[in-house]
Structure 1
Amino acid sequence: MEQRIQSYDALFELMPEMGAQKELLGCECAQPEYCFTHYLEPGYKEEDILVEICQSVTEKKQDSGQITFKVFLKVSKAACIFYKGSYNTLHKSYAMLLQYIEENGYEICGSIRESYIEGVWNKESEQEWLTEIQIPVGTGSLTQCIC
C-alpha cells in the first residue's frame, strides 16, 4: 500500500487500514511474517513522506484500489541494525547505521526498509517493540550495487 503521509505517526493508522484491505482480498500472511515500511524517496523528511507499507503474503491476488501486489527483487547485501523501543528514538539507530556505512566505504543502493518484528499488535510496552532497519548497500560498482 503506497501513500504519502504527513508524519510518521500516520503509519499507526495506515498499517491497520492495510490489514483490513488484505482481509477483504482474502490474503494470508506468509510465515514467518515479514512486514516492512519502504521509504520511496531519498533522504530523511519530517513530513510529506512517500511510503510503501508491505506485508509478505502466500499468494498474489488481484490489485485493488488501495493494494498493489509486487514481487521484490532479492537484496544481495544490506547494512542492518536491530532497535528495541519506542519509534520516537529510532533515529539514533539510523545515525549509527549510516555512520557504519560511510566509515566502511559502502554506498546506499536501494530504498531503506524498517521491518517490524514486535510492536503494538503483540507487545503492551513500547520498550518491547523490535524493529530492524535494513539499508541496501554496495561498493560503488554497478554490478555490486544492484538491489
Structure 2
Amino acid sequence: MAYSTYHDAGYKEGEVDAEVVVGVDNLMKDEDGFTFKETEAVDQAAIILVPGDYSNVAQAYNFLANWIEENGYIMIGNPRQVAIKGPCNEKRTEDYLSEIQIPVKK
C-alpha cells in the first residue's frame, strides 16, 4: 500500500510537510534521499472515503475533523491519505477514490 502522511497542523497553501510511504518487501540501507523504516501501527482511526477529484479532499478533512470532535474523540497523530484510485490507475478524475485516515482515541 502507498499513502501520504501530512505533518503540518491544519491546512497549508504551500510548502507542505508531507511524507510519501510505499510498502517494500525488505528494509534497505537509506540512500539517495530515500529512508527505509517501519511504519507505526495505528490502533484506532476515523476514516472517510472521498470520491472524485482531489478538490473534494479539503471538504472531507473538515467533515471528518468535525465528526471526530462531535463524537468525543481526539486526534492523536498525523492524517494519512491513501489514493485507492488516482492518476496511476484512473484516467478520469471523477473516478478517483481517496481514503483519509486520522488516528484518534476516546
Asked if TM exceeds 0.5, the reply is yes
Considering fraction of residues, name the structure with more strand.
2
Alignment of 1:1-147 (within 5 A): 34-139=1-106
CA deviation after TM superposition for structure 1 residue 64, in Å: 1.1
Structure 1: which amino acid aligns with 2:89?
Answer: N
Structure 1: which amino acid aligns with 2:76?
Answer: C
Structure 1: which amino acid aligns with 2:68?
Answer: I
Q: Unmatched 5+ residue regions in structure 1?
A: 1-33, 140-147
Deviating runs (4+, > 6 A) in structure 1? Answer: none
Moved more, 103-112 or 65-74: 65-74
The count of corresponding residues between Structure 1 and Structure 2 is 106
Q: Aligned partners of 1:51 and 1:94: how far apart in 2? A: 16
Larger RCO (alpha carbons 8 Å, 6+ apart): 2
CA deviation after TM superposition for structure 1 residue 44, in Å: 1.4
Task: Find the structure with the greater CA-based Rg.
Answer: 1
Please, what is the CA RMSD of the aligned residues?
0.9
TM-score for the superposition, normalised by structure 1: 0.69
Considering fraction of residues, name the structure with more helix.
1
CA deviation after TM superposition for structure 1 residue 89, in Å: 2.0
- Percentage of pairs with the same residue: 35
Q: Give the SS at the match of 1:49.
A: coil
